[in-house]
Copies of this chain bind each other. A is one copy, B any other.
């Protein structure tokens, strides 16, 4: 017997269920569940799902279907026909179907759909009969079929690439329709008469033949199979592939194909279609929320062409408050829908995104899936559902993705400033936070401008999947049409990006590159500021600020995560203010304080100057003198940060970068330095020349400096112990952990440790102290360090993985130079993730594992952390958890995200 490739659903029964997402795709699994589960049995139009295995087979076998598929489809179609009492291709009572893609994970708008399949010159009369003589509806449906089919099946799936968008079949057919409307003086499609539509269909068919070289197929089965093929083809479509890259969806998952009875929301004013959420996806409030359109097909809602109406009072906004609610217009249907949505949420134990259609007063549930939500909504829902006992604590924690949490940490417009500003436009708040940028009108421009280092706001009539790249790089997205379920809103919500949709008082003049806001004209390149949480658009660049501190929901949620996580979360902070901020965010110490930071930031001029004197010294004597001069700056810098982290550990890394980095480049400064060092300008230049390195990343840096110039180590350590001693005298509890960077052999550690211990004793004596609590440790960032970690652990009390450098050396990727090839590597899929974003699980993680195993073998209580930038990346945090690290360290703003990721890692491991 052939393998089962086709799963039927409908009439209160289903062969599949929700758990079969891998096989049936998310849509197919949910249709089966809705149709067949005993707690649900919702009115789903009957149909069947062709499995993802068929897609995989199809691509593996040179676009051939597996044997037996045809028969299984035929059988399932028969069952549908029986339930519906209609027959596919029948001239009297024809069954029409849709063909839709449905991958394991939702890829909104990325793949193809063809509706009204089965409509042919033969079946048209039958459909007219079914629709009680609504001839206009039928020819409109035929017109839609011609447009969709020629585009999706005959052009795209066939791999025909038009020379320009203008020459694509869809655009050509649209032009014909526009011309007809113009000729007749119509404004809207709805004004087209039956005769107009009949004529249009004829023109369409001619054009299709002319452009694509073949007739539009008049055979229902040809339509069906070509439609199925087009769905599978769309899995490898450009847009879908690009979306998968961004979302990290594997190519080999494949898509399922859902064939389902057509129901029509456009059969008249007793018909409608809509989208709803069981809770508000923008705020998380436990309120039924949705939009609908009378006399429309489902795609009209998603596409945002007409502005939809609210389903109930709660769903009303500034922008649609004058329209009638579904609750008012069809109270009985609304009540039925309301009941179904409650049932669905209870069943799925999560907020559901529902598509429904009302055909001549009869409600059909077309789809349900877990609803996308923005960060604040995700946090609120998780907390609410946990408190409602709908879900467990662990589930609540897993309901918020790190990137959703990040949204709560987004800057917002400074409220005081905003209060005094009048918006130039208002729209729907589709993505949270505030953002400023320069206006661009196309996705291509967005990409180009951002490449030049600009920040842009992408302003579009409405967005479509072709705009995805531009949307991704933009600071924010602003559309003139569409609602909370439009393409722009869906995509932005997924990314947690600031977005406003449906700002309908605006208009765009693409030729002039102008944006008209009532009487005001804004040009390309002008600055806009968006409040994506309120839907307000402001002219100019308004100041931003953070609010996270006062967000009670966030604090409550993070408390949940802390009760689960095992990893400690520290921060990378070089200044007292960063340290304080991180502490507020929940940091449990500093994982990386870079001593050299004092030579980069504010107020660095004086210490930097002294450092340069030190670097360019010719004698140890000169160097010592400069170091003494530097001492008070170093001590104060360290002291302030130790104080800010009072009671918590602070990992202080000794001087790391190659000295050449600190040397001035401009002549004037060099001349002054030469004068101060009492050497000639030429001598100084010669000296600097000797500091130059071919590969500074692997040169004279880190502990190598401390070996060559032990006085540098001595001075830095003296500053650390002195700062701590002074704090102890002030009643504080400093806890420095002294960290040696760029170590490759234990002998380096031994030599540095001796200096540190001597200096420690000196400071103790000077301050008459018995003890200063401190630890001595090493970075593990040189690959070899991992292999000698057992020896290192004999000297070091803690390890901290410097995964940035370890990635550089492990891959042989100079971070400064990857621009010339890494983008290419990611695009070609040679690397699936940027190893500087997420720790490489094959090489770098193995190095870490070796280091940890060897280190802990020698020293059981060895403290192990990570201080590279990976410490704020959720996948990397999960890896660190699995490797048994004690803590991760990340930038202050990523501390909450790290707390969440650490908790999720625990739950995932269970």
A residues near B, CB below 8 A? Answer: 693-700, 704, 707-708, 742, 744-745, 747-748, 751, 781-784, 786-788, 805, 808-814, 816-818, 820-821, 824-825, 828-831, 840, 842-844, 846-847
Please measure, in the bound complex, the distance between the C-alpha atom of A810 and the C-alpha atom of B745, giving whole angstroms: 12
A751-B830 CB under 8 A given contacts A744-B812, A787-B846, A824-B707? yes
Of A695, A708, A805, most B-chain CB atoms within 10 Å? A695
A317 to chain B, nearest CB (A): 48
A858 to chain B, nearest CB (A): 14
> Chain B contacts of A748 at CB under 8 A?
830
The answer to whether B805 and A784 touch across the interface, beta carbons within 8 angstroms, is: no
> Chain B contacts of A787 at CB under 8 A?
842-843, 846-847
Which of B700, B805, B821 is close to A704, meaning CB atoms less than 8 Å apart?
B821
The answer to whether B744 and A811 touch across the interface, beta carbons within 8 angstroms, is: yes
> Chain B contacts of A808 at CB under 8 A?
698
The answer to whether B700 and A820 touch across the interface, beta carbons within 8 angstroms, is: yes
The answer to whether B783 and A699 touch across the interface, beta carbons within 8 angstroms, is: no
A579 to chain B, nearest CB (A): 29
Please measure, in the bound complex, the distance between the C-alpha atom of A11 and the C-alpha atom of B693, giving whole angstroms: 67
> Known pairs A695-B695, A747-B829. 11 more at Cβ < 8 A?
A694-B817, A695-B698, A698-B808, A698-B809, A698-B817, A700-B821, A744-B811, A745-B830, A747-B828, A787-B846, A788-B843
Please measure, in the bound complex, the distance between the C-alpha atom of A699 and the C-alpha atom of B696, giving whole angstroms: 13
Q: List 22 A-B contacts (CB under 8 A).
A: A693-B817, A694-B696, A694-B814, A694-B816, A694-B817, A695-B697, A695-B816, A698-B808, A698-B809, A698-B813, A698-B814, A698-B817, A707-B824, A707-B828, A744-B813, A747-B828, A747-B831, A748-B830, A782-B812, A784-B812, A784-B844, A809-B810
A768 to chain B, nearest CB (A): 30
A745 to chain B, nearest CB (A): 6
A853 to chain B, nearest CB (A): 13
Please measure, in the bound complex, the distance between the C-alpha atom of A699 and the C-alpha atom of B813, giving whole angstroms: 6
A836 to chain B, nearest CB (A): 13
> Chain B contacts of A831 at CB under 8 A?
745, 747
Which of B699, B842, B843 is close to A817, meaning CB atoms less than 8 Å apart?
B699
Which of B817, B821, B825 is close to A696, meaning CB atoms less than 8 Å apart?
B817
The answer to whether A812 and B742 touch across the interface, beta carbons within 8 angstroms, is: yes
> Chain B contacts of A781 at CB under 8 A?
812
A808 to chain B, nearest CB (A): 6
> Chain B contacts of A812 at CB under 8 A?
697-698, 742, 744, 781-784, 805, 809
A857 to chain B, nearest CB (A): 15
Task: Please give me the residue from chain B that is nearest to A844 by CB atom.
Answer: B784
Please measure, in the bound complex, the distance between the C-alpha atom of A846 and the C-alpha atom of B813, giving whole angstroms: 21
A703 to chain B, nearest CB (A): 10
The answer to whether A842 and B699 touch across the interface, beta carbons within 8 angstroms, is: no
Task: Please give me the residue from chain B that is nearest to A700 by CB atom.
Answer: B820
Please measure, in the bound complex, the distance between the C-alpha atom of A809 and the C-alpha atom of B810, giving whole angstroms: 7
> Chain B contacts of A828 at CB under 8 A?
707, 747, 751
> Chain B contacts of A698 at CB under 8 A?
695, 697-698, 808-809, 811-814, 817
> Chain B contacts of A805 at CB under 8 A?
812
A780 to chain B, nearest CB (A): 12
A820 to chain B, nearest CB (A): 4
A735 to chain B, nearest CB (A): 29
The answer to whether A830 and B747 touch across the interface, beta carbons within 8 angstroms, is: yes
> Chain B contacts of A744 at CB under 8 A?
811-813, 843
Please measure, in the bound complex, the distance between the C-alpha atom of A805 and the C-alpha atom of B695, giving whole angstroms: 13
Please measure, in the bound complex, the distance between the C-alpha atom of A271 and the C-alpha atom of B737, giving whole angstroms: 71
Task: Please give me the residue from chain B that is nearest to A830 by CB atom.
Answer: B747
Task: Please give me the residue from chain B that is nearest to A705 by CB atom.
Answer: B821
> Chain B contacts of A842 at CB under 8 A?
784, 787-788
> Chain B contacts of A829 at CB under 8 A?
747
Task: Please give me the residue from chain B that is nearest to A698 by CB atom.
Answer: B814
A668 to chain B, nearest CB (A): 24
A800 to chain B, nearest CB (A): 16
Of A696, A805, A840, A843, most B-chain CB atoms within 10 Å? A843
A814-B697 CB under 8 A given contacts A745-B831, A747-B829, A831-B745? yes
A663 to chain B, nearest CB (A): 14
Please measure, in the bound complex, the distance between the C-alpha atom of A698 and the C-alpha atom of B836, giving whole angstroms: 14
Task: Please give me the residue from chain B that is nearest to A813 by CB atom.
Answer: B698
> Chain B contacts of A847 at CB under 8 A?
783, 787
Task: Please give me the residue from chain B that is nearest to A782 by CB atom.
Answer: B812
Please measure, in the bound complex, the distance between the C-alpha atom of A700 and the C-alpha atom of B821, giving whole angstroms: 7
A355 to chain B, nearest CB (A): 39
Task: Please give me the residue from chain B that is nearest to A694 by CB atom.
Answer: B816
A707 to chain B, nearest CB (A): 6
